Amino acid sequence: MKNINYILVTLMVLNLNICLSQQTIDANNISSFLLGGGQRSNFATLSLQPIAIIDAEPDPSNTISFGVSVNNLEAGLPATGVGGISTNENIWLNYTYRGVNFANAKIYVRTNQIVPAGILIKIQVIAATSIGGSFIANQNIAPITLSTTEQILINNFASGYTGNGLGTGYNLRITVENQSGLSLPNGFEIIYEIK
């Protein structure tokens, strides 16, 4: 019976030593002292992809047309109202932009084809409004005569977004001077690019 008591006492002493062991902390290392011993770290890199999206609203009905006046239309008489100057101030330019390493960008405008002789197309930013967006307006307010050469429509701007749809972003005025009533070539487009 004595042997059993000695064995039980020995097992209890071993159990206490195992259960009451504690972690050794290096008091000279402030991170292990504050956060506990055995601290490790892993380095992580988070890369956000650049985004550059631009849209002209309303889509796709942002057109300017030159029509014939139906009031004076009669076979054998000259068609009136064929040419002239037409203006559209209902187009809004929306964008979302996030640059690499916070790099700024510009919005350029150009045509995809040569503007025919006798037609003059001008574009101008007439207002900048933010509804639900987050951007700092920095537009070129002078009218630009469009051609196939890129021209700056929106100056140096930082990452941001304009909000979506009509009434937010950059309000454009597009003026077409077409005194002879000429047609633009098939597939003619005005192209906006963020660079």
Q: Which of residues 176 and 42 earns the better pLDDT score?
A: 176
Q: Which of residues 29 and 53 earns the better pLDDT score?
A: 53
> What's the gap between Cα 14 and its chain centre?
67
pLDDT, position 122:
95
pTM above 0.95, yes or no: no
Task: Provide the pLDDT confidence category of residue 35 given band limits of 50, 70 and 90.
Answer: low
Q: Which of residues 72 and 126 earns the better pLDDT score?
A: 126
Over residues 39-53, the mean pLDDT reads 77
73-103 residue pLDDT tens: 667 765 555 567 888 888 999 999 998 888 8
133-168 residue pLDDT tens: 777 777 778 899 999 999 999 998 888 899 898 999
pLDDT, position 114:
96
Closest C-alpha among 77, 59, 60 to residue 69: 77
133 three-class SS = coil
Task: Provide the pLDDT confidence category of residue 195 given band limits of 50, 70 and 90.
Answer: very high
In this predicted structure, the answer to whether residue 193 has a pLDDT above a threshold of 80 is yes
Cα 52 to Cα 100: distance, rounded to the nearest angstrom: 11
pLDDT averaged over the chain? 78
Closest C-alpha among 160, 134, 153 to residue 51: 160
In this predicted structure, the answer to whether residue 21 has a pLDDT above a threshold of 60 is no
Cα 108 to Cα 148: distance, rounded to the nearest angstrom: 11
